[in-house]
Structures are given as structure tokens and as C-alpha cells.
Amino acid sequence: MKKYLSMLLATLMVLTALLSLIACSNPDDIPETPKDPTTDPGTTEKPNEGGQERIPLTFPQKSYDFQNASYNILEWACGGQDTAGDSWIPWEEGDVDQLDGGMLSGAVFARNAWVEEEFGVSITKEYVSVEVKISHIYRMRQNRDTSANEFQLVTQRSRNLITMVQENLMFDMNTLAGTILHTDQPWWVQNSIDSYTLGAHLYVASTEMLLRDKGATAALYFNQAIAEDSDLPNFFDLVDDHQWTFANMIAACEIVSTSADGDDLMNSATDMWGCIGGDDPVFFLYASTGRQFAHIDEGGYMEYDFGYDEDSITVMQEIFEDFMYADWYLNTAVDKAILEPYEGKVFPDGHALFSGGMVKSVNDLNEMQEMYGILPYPKYDEDQDDYSSLVWIHHDSILGIPADVADAEMCAVILEALSWESYYSVYPIFYDTILLDRAAKDADSKRMLQLIFQTRIYDPGQYWDTTTGLQHAAGLLRLTSRDSSDIMSVWKMYEGKIEECVKDINKMISDMEE
């Protein structure tokens, strides 16, 4: 990293100048009166950038020098290698080896270099493939069993969470909360802490150094020209007036949907589709109705909601019958015979009103000729209090410190420093410039994107229940192939496994408390 020092200094000057022009509109508000840590600390100060006053970075002692210790991050990737820029990982969040001229990678590079210089560490990374289900678990087990101390930080998809925690592979970050890890501060994502805390323990969470969990947030795109030509209501106004509902979205799809050859059959990629998407919108829509599969109660224990709440089965049934099975919904996971002859991209080419995806899906729309808009997924009805935007477990990131590390204090200090610096220098570029200035093409979409980020949720019923199969290909996802819409039968098939799963998780939590 040192050999890039001259390039780094130039990059820092450019970033500082750029940030001074960016009015920070981070959706996580900084407290008007920052909370003071309860220790007798030293503080780390940095100049304000972009006009945003920094909360001091506070540690128990005035300075740390870790003597060029290795700080190795175990990250997930496609194919077991750095794939930043592809559809799975559009933004680099952990380590950048060299400057490529991009603002975001430049900010990550500068952040890492500052942390290295300030605390005397060398930041490196190792990738494990997302396609090999046991690769990350194998590496974590190996690291623990051999006392190799290979990794100081782990970032993985939350769908891999339960095994890491059940096998005691993760360090309890709450043991350092309030002294080194200030989890009540805005560089920690508070919703993630609320959802990932088990009893009095916190093994994983999200901070503002992570970008993949932001990209994995559910978001809906629509073709503004099609909406205007079809004389549809202004979707932005519907959102503002709390009238953007499941029924209104379906009504719009039905109005727009037409067969290109006039035979009334939706069987060509060039027909006008109401919506295109894969299997994921099943879960995005269920979350957007204000429901979750489970929640963590006040005592830190898991309570399963789906199947036990009075209307959960009914709502899921409606999502399948009125949306997933509608003739105007082009399911990219099921309708491959329709898609394969077509060489273009259905939504960017103007053959669908809506595209169901995530925030990172915006990277697929760079060459779209017509104006697109961004929306949250709809409420169930107007009585619902808030919009709800799911963070999807198959594409997100969570982070934690491996158990049995040689120096947990060093690991925590660098994690806190990376997260703190990211909040002030990396995240504003990602959010204000990459998303708001480049991805959102109009003022209304900018507001909608802000709303999406303000209403992000993490569903414990998804990342803790990865063993029963309810949400896998043999469970609810099987129904997306139009085999059946009998949600009750599927639930009854898995109910016993769910009960055992919840019992095991809560016993694990109870054992932690002893």
C-alpha cells in the first residue's frame, strides 16, 4: 500500500474537493447531541469533509500502534475471486489494491490507507466463493481448529449466519460495546443490531463500511414513458399520499399488459408485460406488507410469525395468485422459454412497466433509453403505517470478528475505525453521488430512494431459518413454478420443522445466557 502513497495523496485532495461540493443527505441522521462513551478515552480527530461535523472516534487509550499487524478480511465473492462490478457485487466494500480512477474505489483505498497509517496495520483480504456453500464455514473452522489467526474480520451473506453462530465461530461483539465498539453510533446500522442481537449477545451486524447490504435492499423500477402513455396515476404521488398499495400496483400491471401480436396470449418477450422479475419479489412483497417471518422479542429470543399470525397465510396466498401467477408477470426463473429467443433486455428495452429487483439492480439500467423511476415495494393497504424494504439474505453482507482471534481488541479497533471513516468518507460518495446523483434520474426518484433506505428491515425468520427448507426451492420457492398456490399445505408440511428450528435457536440463546 505504501508504494501508492503519492497516488493516495492526490486522490485524497480530489475526494476532499468533491466532497465539499456534495451536500450530505445520509438517511441515518447523526444525533444532534452525540452520545459520550462511558470510558476515559483518547479521541481521534479528522478534518470535516463535505461540511459534515464528525463525532470523535473514541477509544479507551489515546493511541494504538499495532506494529504492522495483519488485518485480513474474509469476504464472499462469486467464483472465489474479487468480482466487484458484476451483477452480484457491483460495489467494492472491503479492500482495493490499486486506484482505478473511480470515486468509490478511490474512497475505499484512501480509507484503508488512513487506517493502516493511523493504527499500524496492513489490510488484506481473502475471497471465498458464494457458489461453494461450505467454503466459508470450512475456512472458519480451519482457522479456529488450527489457531491460525488468519482472519481478523469476516463479511458474509446473512443466509450463512446460523452455522457460524451455532458452531461458536464468531466473537461476541457486545463484550466490547461501549468501550471500543460504539454500536449506538450512526456508523453502525441500528436495524441490523436490533435484528441480529440474541439475548445479550451480538455476533454479527452491519456497519457503514458495508455496501452490499445496501445494494441488496428491495427496490422497484418503472418505465416512466409507459406509465405516462397509459394514463396511469402518478406513482410518486401515490407513495407520498400513502396510497401506493399492492392492489394499485396490480391494477397498473393489468392496464398496461398487452400481447404484441393481438392474440391475447402473453408468450413473447416483446409483449407488454406488467412486471418482470424472478422469485425474489415473493419475499420483497411479503416484507413490504409490513410482515416478517419472525422477530426477536424483548428478551432476545426468536418468535416465529409466519403461519401463526392470523392473516400471514392469506397474504402470501394473495401474493402468489394475484402477482406471481398473473399472466402479465414475466418470471425470469420460470419463463425461460419465453426469454431465451429474445436477445435484448425486456425492461430496459421497454417491454415491461415494472421491474422487480434491488437497489443494486440500477446498474443494469445504465443504457436504458427511456426514463425510469424508482419506487419502494407497495404497502398491503392504506391502513399500513409505513413502507417496508427488505434487505435480501442472498445478496447482502454482514460482518463480525472470528472467535478465538489472537487480539480481539485490535480486531475491534480496526473494525470501528473502518466503519467510522466509511460513514464520513465512503458512504457519502456511495449514497449521494453513486445512487442519488447517478442512479436516481429525477428528484422524485431521489426522494423514493431515500424512503427506501429509511425503511430497510432485516427479517430474522429468513437468516435464522436456513435449515427447514420452507423458503428454499422445495418450499415456498417451489410454488413460483406455478405448481400450486396452496400456501396452507406448504406451511403444514414445514410447521413441525419450523417449531424444532425455533426451539433449537432459543435453546442456543438460553445456553449463552448461562
Whether 303 contacts 227, CB under 8 Å: no
Sort 86 into a burial class: Cβ within 10 Å, 0-12 / 13-18 / 19+: exposed
Query: What does the pLDDT read at residue 283?
Result: 95
- pLDDT tens track for 66-84: 999 999 998 887 655 555 5
The dihedral built from the CA positions of residue 101, 102, 103 and 105, taken in this order, carries a sign that is: negative
Query: What does the pLDDT read at residue 41?
Result: 45
Angle in degrees, CA 285, 289, 295, rounded to 5:
100
All cell numbers assigned to 141: 473452522
Angle in degrees, CA 72, 26, 176, rounded to 5:
40
For 87-92, what is the mean pLDDT? 59
Whether 229 contacts 382, CB under 8 Å: no
Three-state DSSP class for residue 33: coil
Query: What does the pLDDT read at residue 278?
Result: 92
Instruction: State the pTM of this model.
Output: 0.88
CA separation for the pair 480, 333 (Å, rounded) = 8
| Average of per-residue pLDDT values in the chain | 85
Binning pLDDT at 50, 70 and 90, where does residue 92 land?
A: low
Please say if the pLDDT value at position 88 is more than 80. no
User: Which one is predicted more confidently, 161 or 336?
Assistant: 336
Query: What does the pLDDT read at residue 49?
Result: 55
- pLDDT tens track for 371-425: 999 999 999 999 999 999 999 988 898 999 999 899 999 999 999 999 999 999 9
Which of 91-100, 184-193, 243-252, 452-461 has the weakest average pLDDT? 91-100
Name the DSSP letter for residue 253: H
What pairing do the DSSP bridges indicate for beta strands 57-59 and 352-358? unpaired
Q: What percent of the chain has pLDDT over 70?
A: 84
User: What are the helix (H) ranges across 369-481?
Assistant: 408-421, 427-428, 443-454, 460-463
Name the DSSP letter for residue 37: P
For 266-278, what is the mean pLDDT? 96
